[in-house]
Each structure stands twice: as C-alpha cells, then as structure tokens.
Chain A
Amino acid sequence: MEAEAAKLIGAGLASIALVGAGIGIGTIFGNYLAGALRNPSAAQGQFANLLLGFALAEATGLFGLVVALIILFVF
C-alpha cells in the first residue's frame, strides 16, 4: 500500500474516536434531562456540572481528531 493512502486511512480511523464523544455527550444530556424531570428543583444547581461534563466528554473525542491531524500533517 502506498504510504499516502495508509496515512489517509489512518487519519480516517483516528476520527472514529468522535463516536465515543457522541455517546458521551448524549449520555450526559440524556441523564441530566431524566434527572431534571424527576426533580426539577435540583436541576438548576447541577447546570454547571452538566456543562463541565459536556466539555470533558467532547474534548476526549477531539483528542482523536488531534491524532488524525498529527497523522496528516506531522508524518
């Protein structure tokens, strides 16, 4: 296989990490909504934690994207 082709395939494979970020973000917002509907009065207090969890989950997927970009541009 050509090195260039392998690079592109590798970068594409690294982007699969975003699947995990999607699952994580969905879980966080889904569980927050489920909890907020059960106890709406406690929902406001956990909003900061929701945003923190969202950002952390999204960042983990973006690490995979960084790997893809490193494969494309550094090697």
Chain B
Amino acid sequence: MANEQAGEHGGGSTGMPDPMHQFEIKRILPLEIFGVDASFTNASLFMVLAVITASAFLLMSTSGRSLVPGRLQSVAEMAYEFVANMVRENVGTAGMKYFPFVFSLFIFILACNMLGMIPYTFTVTSHIIVTFALAAVVFIGVTIIGFARHGIGFLKFFVPSGVPAALLPLLVVIEVISYLTRPISLSVRLFANMMAGHTMLKVFGAFVVGLGALGGWAPLGFMVAFTGLEILVAFLQAYVFAILTCIYLNDAIHMHH
C-alpha cells in the first residue's frame, strides 16, 4: 500500500495522504553563501532543537550536583554510565579518551529520533544525508586514529592472520571492501529504520481516518502498539550507532579481529 501510494506523488485518486510528504524539506530562512544553498530549513531547525533539548536536559539535571541524586540527576547519571560502560566493554580503558565523542553522538541521535516521535515534528535522522554525514565523521575519524596509533602498520588490519597465502589476494580485497562499506551500512541502517517506521505510521494513520469511526479501531490499536515499538527502535538505533562506533574504534585501537 505504501509503495502504491508513494508512486502517485501526492495521494490523488484514492484520497489518501502521501506518506512521503512528512519527509519534505522546507526552507525557513533562505540563504545562499557563495552560490551554495545554505538555507535554514526545517531539518536544521530540528537539529538545533535536538541540541538545545539535550544540552538543556543535561545542564539542568546536573546543576544541583547533589551527592544523593534526585530523579532528574539519576537519569543523567544513568545515561552517562550507560555510554561509559559501552565504551569500556567494547574498547577498553584506552578508548575512554573518545568517550565524549561517543556520548555526544549517542545523545544527539537519540534526541533527534525521539523528537521525531512527537506528532507533526520532523525526523532529522530519516534523511540519508544527515546520517551519512554522521557515519562519515565516524569512519574518517576512526581511520585517522588507526593510522595515528599504528602508522603504516594499520594496513595489516586488512590482512587476516592464519590464512593460506594463496587465498590472501582475494581476502584482502574483501576486507578492504567490507571496511569501505562501513559508513554506508552504518548510515543506511539508521536512515532506513527511521524512514520505514514513520512511513508505516503514516500509512496506518491514513487507514484509521479512511475506515472512519466504525472500522478504524483495529488499525488504531495496531498504531498504538506500533508507536511503542517505534520508540524502542528510536532508542535502539541510537544505541546500535553508538555501539558500532565503539566496535570500529576498538578495531582501530587494538587491531585484532
């Protein structure tokens, strides 16, 4: 149903709203710098909102700095401990240097995903260019860390150990390709999850309206359950993005498979 609707660009004959309409980018403040369109769009607005929400929450909750934490401070401490444990378990103590980056990444993606779950908001992470930029930062950063720590020896990462020499040319090529596709899989995973979820919610929302007061209850019940699942997915995808960043960092720092 989604594909059929989406193919028509704007609903049209069946009267159902286009589920892709929610991902449209609108210019709020048109701006052009040296011929590049750098307008302040609704995507920029929600990225700013995500940063403000996350910063305001963390600043507010930790401003008291009481020894026995209150409810807000507990949430902030739990978030800190959660990410700190993730880094410690996956990268080891050598990776704690990069904890601020992983924490910011996790909180930013989580804030973007969760803001997107509020009706009538815009989901920044449902655009591949945003997730790809994040994944590219991780990929380039991790590669630089690998070369900075091991020098040219980091190239040994692409040569699996304990393999017959005859197979090596093939395996090295496969290893290099799998390394290069990391930013693509990392970004497409987050983008596809967010986009598919929001499209599905929209399609079922159209079912509820279309079937009316008599038959609309069944899809409505499904939607309530699915919204719960989407909130889980919003958290899970931020977690997966952060943990894969940790795993890539571990590869760059310790170099074992």
Cβ contacts under 8 Å, A42 to chain B: none
Given A52-B240, A52-B243, A65-B196, A8–B188 Cβ distance below 8 Å?
A: no
Once bound together, how far apart are the Cα atoms of A72 and B9, in whole Å? 10
Once bound together, how far apart are the Cα atoms of A11 and B130, in whole Å? 25
Q: Once the chains bind, are B192 and A63 in contact (CB under 8 Å)?
A: yes
Q: B2 to chain A: closest CB distance in Å?
A: 9
In the complex, whether A66 has a CB less than 8 A from a CB of chain B is yes
Q: B10 to chain A: closest CB distance in Å?
A: 13
B192 in complex: contacting residue of A48, A54, A62, CB < 8 Å: A62
Q: B188 to chain A: closest CB distance in Å?
A: 6
Q: Once the chains bind, are A69 and B4 in contact (CB under 8 Å)?
A: no
Q: Once the chains bind, are A8 and B7 in contact (CB under 8 Å)?
A: yes
Q: B214 to chain A: closest CB distance in Å?
A: 30
Q: Once the chains bind, are A59 and B239 in contact (CB under 8 Å)?
A: no
In the complex, whether A37 has a CB less than 8 A from a CB of chain B is no
Which residues of A are interface residues toward B (Cβ below 8 A)?
A: 4, 7-8, 11-12, 15, 48, 51-52, 54-56, 58-59, 62-63, 65-66, 68-69, 72-73
Which residues of B are interface residues toward A (Cβ below 8 A)?
A: 3-4, 6-7, 20, 185, 188-189, 191-193, 195-196, 236-237, 239-240, 243
Cβ contacts under 8 Å, A73 to chain B: 6, 20
Q: B248 to chain A: closest CB distance in Å?
A: 14
Once bound together, how far apart are the Cα atoms of A40 and B20, in whole Å? 44
Q: B6 to chain A: closest CB distance in Å?
A: 6
Cβ contacts under 8 Å, B185 to chain A: 59
Q: Once the chains bind, are A15 and B3 in contact (CB under 8 Å)?
A: yes
A68 in complex: contacting residue of B3, B236, B237, B240, CB < 8 Å: B3
Contacts A52-B239, A55-B237 given; 16 further ones with Cβ under 8 A? A4-B7, A12-B3, A15-B3, A51-B236, A52-B243, A55-B189, A55-B193, A55-B236, A58-B193, A59-B188, A59-B193, A63-B192, A65-B192, A68-B3, A69-B195, A73-B20
Q: Once the chains bind, are A66 and B188 in contact (CB under 8 Å)?
A: yes
Find the A residue at minimum CB distance from B239.
A51
Once bound together, how far apart are the Cα atoms of A15 and B6, in whole Å? 14
Q: Once the chains bind, are B236 and A54 in contact (CB under 8 Å)?
A: yes
Cβ contacts under 8 Å, B188 to chain A: 59, 62-63, 66
Cβ contacts under 8 Å, B4 to chain A: 8
Q: Once the chains bind, are B236 and A66 in contact (CB under 8 Å)?
A: no
Q: Once the chains bind, are A62 and B193 in contact (CB under 8 Å)?
A: yes
Cβ contacts under 8 Å, B6 to chain A: 69, 72-73
